Amino acid sequence: MITTAAHDLAGNALAAAYAWSFKTTATAPLGPSPVLLGTAGKYVVLAKSAITDVPTSKITGDVAISPAAASYITGFSMTKAGAFWTSPQVVGKLFAADNNPPTPINLTTAIANMETAYTNAAGRPTPDFSNSGAGDIGGATLTPGLYKWTSTVTIPGDVVISGAANDVWIFQISGDLMMSANKAITLSGGARAKNVFWQVAGLVDLGTSAHAEGIMLSKTAIKLGTGASINGRLLAQTAVNIAGSTITAPAQ
Protein backbone atom coordinates (compact mmCIF):
# COMPACT_ATOMS: atom_id res chain seq x y z
CA MET A 1 0.00 0.00 0.00
CA ILE A 2 1.04 3.57 -0.74
CA THR A 3 -0.61 6.01 1.65
CA THR A 4 -1.46 9.72 1.33
CA ALA A 5 1.79 10.44 3.16
CA ALA A 6 3.49 10.01 -0.21
CA HIS A 7 4.19 13.31 -2.04
CA ASP A 8 5.44 14.17 -5.50
CA LEU A 9 8.44 16.46 -6.08
CA ALA A 10 6.17 19.52 -5.93
CA GLY A 11 4.89 18.52 -2.47
CA ASN A 12 1.44 17.34 -3.60
CA ALA A 13 0.05 14.47 -1.54
CA LEU A 14 -1.44 11.36 -3.09
CA ALA A 15 -5.20 11.94 -3.32
CA ALA A 16 -6.09 8.58 -1.81
CA ALA A 17 -4.26 5.57 -0.51
CA TYR A 18 -3.54 2.98 -3.19
CA ALA A 19 -3.33 -0.74 -2.43
CA TRP A 20 -2.69 -3.72 -4.64
CA SER A 21 -1.63 -7.36 -4.26
CA PHE A 22 0.30 -9.85 -6.31
CA LYS A 23 1.66 -13.38 -6.06
CA THR A 24 5.00 -14.86 -6.94
CA THR A 25 5.52 -18.49 -7.88
CA ALA A 26 8.60 -20.64 -7.42
CA THR A 27 9.54 -23.26 -9.99
CA ALA A 28 10.54 -26.57 -8.43
CA PRO A 29 13.99 -27.83 -9.49
CA LEU A 30 14.00 -30.48 -12.20
CA GLY A 31 15.99 -33.69 -12.03
CA PRO A 32 17.04 -35.85 -9.08
CA SER A 33 18.21 -34.55 -5.73
CA PRO A 34 21.87 -33.48 -5.68
CA VAL A 35 24.62 -35.90 -4.67
CA LEU A 36 25.95 -34.88 -1.26
CA LEU A 37 29.75 -34.71 -1.30
CA GLY A 38 30.32 -34.09 2.39
CA THR A 39 33.84 -32.91 3.15
CA ALA A 40 35.03 -34.24 -0.21
CA GLY A 41 33.36 -31.12 -1.58
CA LYS A 42 36.10 -29.01 0.00
CA TYR A 43 38.57 -30.13 -2.64
CA VAL A 44 38.81 -29.41 -6.34
CA VAL A 45 41.10 -32.43 -6.78
CA LEU A 46 40.92 -35.45 -4.45
CA ALA A 47 42.61 -38.80 -5.08
CA LYS A 48 43.75 -41.86 -3.16
CA SER A 49 46.93 -43.08 -4.87
CA ALA A 50 48.56 -40.30 -6.93
CA ILE A 51 48.18 -36.80 -8.35
CA THR A 52 50.57 -36.05 -11.21
CA ASP A 53 51.05 -32.85 -13.17
CA VAL A 54 52.99 -31.94 -16.28
CA PRO A 55 53.59 -28.23 -15.60
CA THR A 56 52.31 -25.73 -15.86
CA SER A 57 48.73 -26.16 -14.69
CA LYS A 58 46.45 -23.67 -12.96
CA ILE A 59 44.25 -24.99 -10.16
CA THR A 60 41.82 -22.85 -8.21
CA GLY A 61 40.79 -24.68 -5.06
CA ASP A 62 42.35 -27.14 -2.62
CA VAL A 63 44.06 -30.38 -3.66
CA ALA A 64 44.33 -33.52 -1.50
CA ILE A 65 45.58 -37.10 -1.50
CA SER A 66 45.03 -39.92 1.01
CA PRO A 67 46.05 -42.51 2.10
CA ALA A 68 49.07 -41.82 -0.12
CA ALA A 69 51.76 -39.43 1.12
CA ALA A 70 52.77 -36.07 -0.32
CA SER A 71 55.54 -37.75 -2.33
CA TYR A 72 52.79 -39.09 -4.60
CA ILE A 73 51.87 -35.53 -5.62
CA THR A 74 54.31 -34.74 -8.42
CA GLY A 75 54.96 -31.86 -10.80
CA PHE A 76 53.88 -29.04 -8.47
CA SER A 77 57.10 -27.65 -6.85
CA MET A 78 55.55 -27.71 -3.39
CA THR A 79 56.57 -25.92 -0.20
CA LYS A 80 55.51 -27.41 3.13
CA ALA A 81 53.65 -25.24 5.62
CA GLY A 82 52.86 -27.58 8.50
CA ALA A 83 49.43 -29.08 7.95
CA PHE A 84 49.49 -28.36 4.20
CA TRP A 85 51.67 -27.50 1.20
CA THR A 86 51.63 -24.60 -1.25
CA SER A 87 52.49 -24.43 -4.94
CA PRO A 88 52.68 -21.59 -7.48
CA GLN A 89 50.34 -23.64 -9.66
CA VAL A 90 47.60 -23.82 -7.02
CA VAL A 91 45.41 -20.98 -5.79
CA GLY A 92 44.66 -22.86 -2.61
CA LYS A 93 46.42 -25.49 -0.49
CA LEU A 94 47.66 -29.03 -1.03
CA PHE A 95 47.05 -31.70 1.62
CA ALA A 96 48.43 -35.22 2.05
CA ALA A 97 48.03 -38.05 4.52
CA ASP A 98 51.48 -37.42 6.03
CA ASN A 99 50.93 -33.73 6.81
CA ASN A 100 50.70 -32.54 10.40
CA PRO A 101 47.41 -33.03 12.32
CA PRO A 102 44.55 -32.54 11.86
CA THR A 103 45.10 -33.14 8.13
CA PRO A 104 45.36 -36.99 8.25
CA ILE A 105 42.01 -37.51 9.98
CA ASN A 106 40.35 -34.82 7.87
CA LEU A 107 41.46 -36.57 4.70
CA THR A 108 40.32 -39.98 5.93
CA THR A 109 36.86 -38.47 6.35
CA ALA A 110 36.97 -36.76 2.95
CA ILE A 111 37.93 -40.00 1.16
CA ALA A 112 35.11 -41.86 2.91
CA ASN A 113 32.69 -39.11 1.91
CA MET A 114 33.90 -39.31 -1.70
CA GLU A 115 33.30 -43.06 -1.80
CA THR A 116 29.86 -42.63 -0.23
CA ALA A 117 28.96 -39.99 -2.81
CA TYR A 118 30.05 -42.29 -5.63
CA THR A 119 27.95 -45.16 -4.26
CA ASN A 120 24.96 -42.85 -3.83
CA ALA A 121 25.21 -41.55 -7.41
CA ALA A 122 25.67 -45.05 -8.83
CA GLY A 123 22.71 -46.41 -6.88
CA ARG A 124 20.06 -43.90 -7.95
CA PRO A 125 17.16 -45.96 -9.38
CA THR A 126 14.76 -45.45 -12.26
CA PRO A 127 16.72 -43.39 -14.80
CA ASP A 128 14.88 -40.86 -16.93
CA PHE A 129 17.14 -41.66 -19.90
CA SER A 130 18.79 -45.01 -20.65
CA ASN A 131 21.71 -45.53 -23.05
CA SER A 132 21.08 -42.22 -24.83
CA GLY A 133 22.78 -42.05 -28.22
CA ALA A 134 24.00 -45.62 -27.70
CA GLY A 135 26.78 -44.04 -25.64
CA ASP A 136 27.67 -41.29 -28.14
CA ILE A 137 26.40 -37.96 -26.81
CA GLY A 138 28.36 -35.66 -29.09
CA GLY A 139 26.16 -32.77 -30.24
CA ALA A 140 23.49 -33.49 -27.62
CA THR A 141 21.59 -31.02 -25.46
CA LEU A 142 21.06 -32.66 -22.07
CA THR A 143 18.08 -31.61 -19.99
CA PRO A 144 17.86 -32.24 -16.22
CA GLY A 145 17.45 -35.82 -15.10
CA LEU A 146 19.05 -39.15 -14.24
CA TYR A 147 20.92 -40.69 -17.17
CA LYS A 148 22.24 -44.27 -17.26
CA TRP A 149 24.60 -46.00 -19.67
CA THR A 150 25.66 -49.65 -19.54
CA SER A 151 28.67 -48.86 -21.70
CA THR A 152 31.45 -46.37 -22.28
CA VAL A 153 30.26 -42.84 -23.10
CA THR A 154 32.03 -40.84 -25.80
CA ILE A 155 31.86 -37.12 -26.48
CA PRO A 156 33.15 -36.58 -30.05
CA GLY A 157 31.26 -33.29 -30.42
CA ASP A 158 30.24 -30.35 -28.26
CA VAL A 159 27.57 -30.97 -25.60
CA VAL A 160 25.18 -28.50 -23.96
CA ILE A 161 23.80 -29.02 -20.46
CA SER A 162 20.63 -26.96 -20.41
CA GLY A 163 18.49 -26.11 -17.41
CA ALA A 164 17.85 -23.71 -14.55
CA ALA A 165 20.13 -22.83 -11.65
CA ASN A 166 18.78 -25.45 -9.23
CA ASP A 167 18.18 -28.27 -11.71
CA VAL A 168 20.27 -31.42 -11.31
CA TRP A 169 21.93 -33.90 -13.67
CA ILE A 170 23.36 -37.30 -12.69
CA PHE A 171 25.14 -39.35 -15.35
CA GLN A 172 25.65 -43.01 -14.42
CA ILE A 173 28.33 -44.57 -16.65
CA SER A 174 29.36 -48.21 -16.23
CA GLY A 175 32.35 -47.88 -18.58
CA ASP A 176 34.71 -45.03 -19.39
CA LEU A 177 33.97 -41.38 -20.17
CA MET A 178 36.00 -40.35 -23.24
CA MET A 179 35.96 -36.75 -24.48
CA SER A 180 37.63 -35.89 -27.77
CA ALA A 181 40.24 -33.18 -28.19
CA ASN A 182 39.09 -29.58 -28.58
CA LYS A 183 35.46 -30.38 -27.69
CA ALA A 184 33.47 -28.61 -24.99
CA ILE A 185 30.69 -29.19 -22.52
CA THR A 186 28.89 -25.90 -21.90
CA LEU A 187 26.11 -24.80 -19.56
CA SER A 188 23.03 -22.86 -20.63
CA GLY A 189 19.85 -21.46 -19.10
CA GLY A 190 21.48 -20.82 -15.73
CA ALA A 191 22.65 -24.43 -15.15
CA ARG A 192 25.45 -24.68 -12.58
CA ALA A 193 28.43 -27.03 -12.57
CA LYS A 194 27.93 -27.87 -8.89
CA ASN A 195 24.67 -29.64 -9.83
CA VAL A 196 26.16 -31.81 -12.60
CA PHE A 197 27.47 -35.21 -11.44
CA TRP A 198 29.39 -37.67 -13.62
CA GLN A 199 29.56 -41.08 -11.89
CA VAL A 200 32.04 -43.09 -13.93
CA ALA A 201 33.05 -46.66 -13.09
CA GLY A 202 35.99 -46.58 -15.50
CA LEU A 203 38.45 -43.96 -16.69
CA VAL A 204 37.58 -40.30 -17.20
CA ASP A 205 39.68 -39.07 -20.14
CA LEU A 206 39.37 -35.46 -21.29
CA GLY A 207 41.25 -34.93 -24.53
CA THR A 208 43.75 -32.23 -25.42
CA SER A 209 42.22 -28.75 -24.95
CA ALA A 210 38.80 -30.22 -24.13
CA HIS A 211 36.58 -28.43 -21.60
CA ALA A 212 34.15 -30.09 -19.18
CA GLU A 213 31.65 -28.97 -16.57
CA GLY A 214 30.60 -30.72 -13.39
CA ILE A 215 31.72 -33.06 -10.62
CA MET A 216 33.70 -36.08 -11.83
CA LEU A 217 33.27 -39.05 -9.47
CA SER A 218 35.51 -41.80 -10.86
CA LYS A 219 35.88 -45.32 -9.46
CA THR A 220 39.08 -45.57 -11.46
CA ALA A 221 41.33 -42.74 -12.69
CA ILE A 222 40.92 -39.26 -14.16
CA LYS A 223 43.17 -37.98 -16.93
CA LEU A 224 43.24 -34.52 -18.50
CA GLY A 225 45.09 -34.10 -21.79
CA THR A 226 47.42 -31.18 -22.42
CA GLY A 227 45.54 -27.90 -22.05
CA ALA A 228 42.27 -29.52 -20.99
CA SER A 229 40.10 -27.70 -18.47
CA ILE A 230 37.15 -28.23 -16.18
CA ASN A 231 34.84 -26.08 -14.13
CA GLY A 232 34.05 -28.58 -11.40
CA ARG A 233 35.85 -31.18 -9.27
CA LEU A 234 38.02 -34.22 -9.95
CA LEU A 235 37.32 -36.89 -7.32
CA ALA A 236 39.05 -40.18 -8.09
CA GLN A 237 39.35 -43.42 -6.13
CA THR A 238 42.78 -44.01 -7.67
CA ALA A 239 44.82 -41.31 -9.46
CA VAL A 240 44.38 -37.92 -11.14
CA ASN A 241 46.75 -37.03 -13.98
CA ILE A 242 46.81 -33.54 -15.52
CA ALA A 243 49.02 -31.70 -18.00
CA GLY A 244 49.02 -27.95 -18.38
CA SER A 245 45.39 -28.06 -17.26
CA THR A 246 43.03 -25.48 -15.79
CA ILE A 247 40.84 -26.74 -12.95
CA THR A 248 38.43 -24.37 -11.26
CA ALA A 249 36.16 -25.15 -8.31
CA PRO A 250 32.52 -24.53 -9.24
CA ALA A 251 30.68 -21.53 -7.88
CA GLN A 252 28.43 -22.32 -4.96
Question: Exposed, middle or buried, 192 (CB in 10 Å: 0-12/13-18/19+)?
Answer: buried
226: Cβ–Cβ under 8 A, 6 or more apart, which residues?
Answer: 54, 208, 209, 243, 244, 245
Distance separating alpha carbons of residues 218 and 137, to the nearest angstrom? 19
CB atoms within 10 A of CB 26: 6
Of 219, 210, 131, give the one whose Cα is nearest residue 171: 131
Total domains in the fold of the chain: 1
Tell me, yes or no, whether 29 lies in a domain.
Answer: no
Query: pLDDT of the chain along its 252 residues, tens only?
Result: 999 999 999 999 999 999 988 777 777 899 999 999 999 999 999 999 999 999 999 999 999 999 999 999 999 999 999 899 999 999 999 999 999 999 999 999 999 999 999 999 999 999 999 999 999 999 999 999 999 999 999 999 999 999 999 999 999 999 999 999 999 999 999 999 999 999 999 999 999 999 999 999 999 999 999 999 999 999 999 999 999 999 999 998
Tell me, yes or no, whether 22 lies in a domain.
Answer: no
89 lies in which domain range? 38-248
Strand (E) or helix (H) holding 187:
strand 185-188
Whether 51 contacts 240, CB under 8 Å: yes
Distance separating alpha carbons of residues 169 and 214, to the nearest angstrom? 9
Tell me, yes or no, whether 7 lies in a domain.
Answer: no
Tell me, yes or no, whether 164 lies in a domain.
Answer: yes
Tell me, yes or no, whether 56 lies in a domain.
Answer: yes
Tell me, yes or no, whether 16 lies in a domain.
Answer: no
Strand (E) or helix (H) holding 116:
helix 103-122
pTM (whole model) above 0.75: yes
166: Cβ–Cβ under 8 A, 6 or more apart, which residues?
Answer: 29, 192, 195
72 backbone φψ class: left, alpha, beta (φ>0; ψ -120 to 50): alpha
